[in-house]
Every structure is written in structure tokens, then in C-alpha cells.
Structure 1
Amino acid sequence: MTAPAPRLVAASVALLIGLAALTGCTDSAPDAAPAAGSTSTPTPSVDPDDTLWRVTSTDERLPLEDPDVQELQKVVALHSGVSDNRSPATVRASVAAEEESFAPLFLERLSGQGYEEAVVAMYVDNDLTIEQTGVAWTPSTVDADRMHATVGFESIFRIVSASDGFLHELDAEAGVEVVQPREYRLTKIDGAWLIDDIEKGPLRKAQGTP
């Protein structure tokens, strides 16, 4: 099913970037895993506050040295580094890269919704380019069985360029820096943490952005 390019936002952005909907301990996030075709990608630095991580049923605080905490941060950081650095030239490879972090059932659901083609069309049709500039970790939990986790996260990124019509749809200007809150849900499958859902909140202008 096709639709005017800006309207693809409503269909795909809930899982990708949340552009149609326009603050935690924030890091500047250097040295990220590069997105496909990207020269540099910020990555979350280590969360300095171990009180952000707790066991769901007991409220036990988890240290950053906890193996599951480290692996969960790595998965979320790598996913955001790929999904928040995109351009028309890199979007298809970028979507393929992010799908490597998805649990099979989540990937199956997205595929059934035409996720890849909707995302590619949104970037190509609207000449959209974004780049991540920072991140913030927010309260996160791991179930006592160490098989399920919910990770709170905020991504900070810049809308580098986009068509005039798309920017009008967002009520934004090229170069604006925005923040998007997210809640990642992950499941451990065969010893590896994989993303099985992502909830994304509305965008807001980054602190200090006029």
C-alpha cells in the first residue's frame, strides 16, 4: 500500500525514529559502531549511575559490572548507532544491520508490516538524513530470571537535511537537534540478548536548541 511520502511517518516511525511526533544523565557519546556508509557514529558511554539498573521483583540494584547489564547496554548502543545515523544512500544497509539485533518473532512482525520498505521510502522520498549526537540512559530493569529486560534510553540526533515538505510536516528546520525517549524490551535467546520490542516517545527539541 502506498501513501504520500510524509504520511509514511505514521506507519513506520513508531518503530524507527518517531519523526512525526515532535532530560537524564546525558553523554556526548563518542566512538560508536558506524552505521552503514557512515563515517562516524556516537555511541553511549558507560552509564555512570548504577542505581539506574534494578532487578524487577526485588528492586536489587545492579552494578555496571554485571554481565547482563554490560551486554544489554551494548545491544542498545549498537542498535541506536545504526538506526540514528541514516541517509538515502545508507538506509537500506542500515535497516539490514539493525535487524541483526532483533528477536525472530519481532523481525517477523516487522517484515509482515513492510517495515524495511516503509523506512527506505521515508528516507529516499524525503531526502532525509539524520545523525546521532548523544544519548542518555534512563531507569532500566532486568527480570530475576535474567531472561527479560527493559532498558530506558534517550537518543539525541540532528536532522541534517530533509525535503521542505517533510520539514514542514515536522514543523522543524534542517540542523535542529532533537531528543527521543525509548523503551527497549529484550529477551535472552540462546544466551544472547535480542530486541523484541521498542516503544518510542514523541520528539522534543534538545536542551539549548532555540
Structure 2
Amino acid sequence: MTMKIAAAALAVTAALTACGANPTPPSPQPSSTAPSVAQRNEHLWHVLDDNGNRERDLPDDDPAVAEVRKLVVLHSGVTDNRAPDNVTASVAAEFGYYHPAFVDDLRAQKYDTKLVDLFTANGLATRQVSIAWYESTFSKNMTTATAQFETTFEFTAANPAYLTANQFALNEPYTQRRTISLTRSGSTWQISRIEKDRLTRVEAPGR
């Protein structure tokens, strides 16, 4: 179980990839994200058959859907609302949503210490603005799930040198598409993998 993070400060996590540190993040790109499935009023949650094909749809109020949605929302709230004075506690809370093997992988990468250093050394603070859901799936036996969503957040504080080096701006919305893999142990869902796309800056209409 590994965590793939494509650039430093993706959701302002430590500058890690599956192989280690990546100190040079790519420049944020203007967002051109298409409307999510939810925005198009189509079915969002599906159960896949053993061949990976769509077998049936699930409503948002299905118990399993509600549990996974809640976990993902709470997790993103922790990871996208951080500041130097709460980042240590925030990382501890973040790990509480993960499968133990995933936690071991992240600690082996020194994810927690690098994340704390990133926020404290650069005076970083972030605030989540919203999330939008995309098509998400459950396995046929309902023991694994893959949730896709896009988070929008802002940098509310940062050292000028950090902003310049990474081409970020304060109080401007940035979006990131994320894919969360989850496993169920008994009645408890845990995150076992996270994949993140590039961080993109949302361009205001008329710019």
C-alpha cells in the first residue's frame, strides 16, 4: 500500500512521491475540470462485478455510501485545514483514518516529519473551500471501495519565498482531483491508498 503524491504541496502535504522526496513541484495549472457526475445529475456510486464492470447503482443514502462519504469528507477536512500550530495534531488525526499498513508506509517515507517541517518552516496555512464528487465504486462483496472527488482549498498564509518558488498565491482557490482507495475490516472502513492529480489554480471568470 503506497501513497502517490505528484508534487510538493499537493493539498500541502509533504513533498513526497512513492519513491521519496520531490523538492521541485510543478507549476499550478489553470483549472479546466469538467462538471462532476453529481453536477450532471447522474448516478454517482456503483457496484462492480468480478470483471470490473458496472453491475448496479447505489443511492447516496445507502449505508455503505454514507459511511465512505463521511470518512472521505472528514479526512479531507483534516488534510486541507492546516497551520503551523495544528499540523502535528493534524497528522496524528490523519493517520487515524488509515489502514495500519498504509501508516507504516508513510512513516517509512518520513511523511509525518516532512509534513510538519513543510508547514512550520514555510509558515503555511490552508483552508478547505469545498469538495465535488465524481464516479465512485464498490467491489461486488462490498469490502473495498474507490472514491473519487475534487477538493478546493486556499493558502491563507505562507512565507513569500515559498509562494514565489512554487508560483502559488494567497487566498486564491486551487483544486485537486483525488482517488481514495478504502478497505473494510468488519464494520470499519479505512483508507489504504491515495492518488492525487496536479494542483490547479481556479481561474475566475473573465480573467
Q: Which TM bucket (shorter chain)?
A: 0.7 to 0.9
Q: Which residue of the other structure, out of 160, 163, 174, is the alignment partner of 2:170?
A: 174
Question: Please, which of 159, 162, 167 is the counterpart of residue 155 of structure 2?
Answer: 159
Per the alignment, residue 138 of structure 2 pairs with: 142
Distance of aligned partners of 1:121 and 1:74 in 2 relative to their CA distance in 1, 3 Å threshold: same
Any gaps of 5 or more consecutive residues in structure 1?
A: 1-6, 27-45
Q: CA deviation at 1:150?
A: 0.4
Query: Which runs of no fewer than 5 residues in structure 2 stay unpaired?
Result: 1-6
Q: Is the 8 A contact 2:8 2:16 kept in 1?
A: no
- 1:163 CA drift (Å): 1.0
Deviations along 1:153-190, whole A, 9 cap, x unmatched? 11100011111121112212212210011000000012
Of residues 183-192 and 168-177 in structure 1, the stretch that sits farther from structure 2 once superposed is: 168-177
Distance 2:103 2:154 in 1: 27
> Normalization by structure 2: what TM-score?
0.80
Report if aligned partners of 1:8, 1:122 keep a CA contact under 8 Å in 2.
no
Residue type at the aligned position of 1:192: T
Q: How far 1:12 sits from its partner (Å)?
A: 2.7
Q: Which has the higher strand share?
A: 2
What TM-score do you get using the length of structure 1 for normalisation?
A: 0.79
Contact persistence 1:47–1:64 (CA under 8 A): no
**Corresponding residue for 1:52?**
44
State whether structure 2 residue 193 is matched by structure 1 residue 197. yes
Contact 1:129 1:162 in 2 (8 A): yes
- Structure 2 CA distance for aligned equivalents of residues 97 and 184 of structure 1: 17
Matched, 1:208 2:196: no
Q: Which residue of the partner structure matches residue 88 of structure 1? A: 84
RMSD: 2.7
Contact 2:16 2:111 in 1 (8 A): no
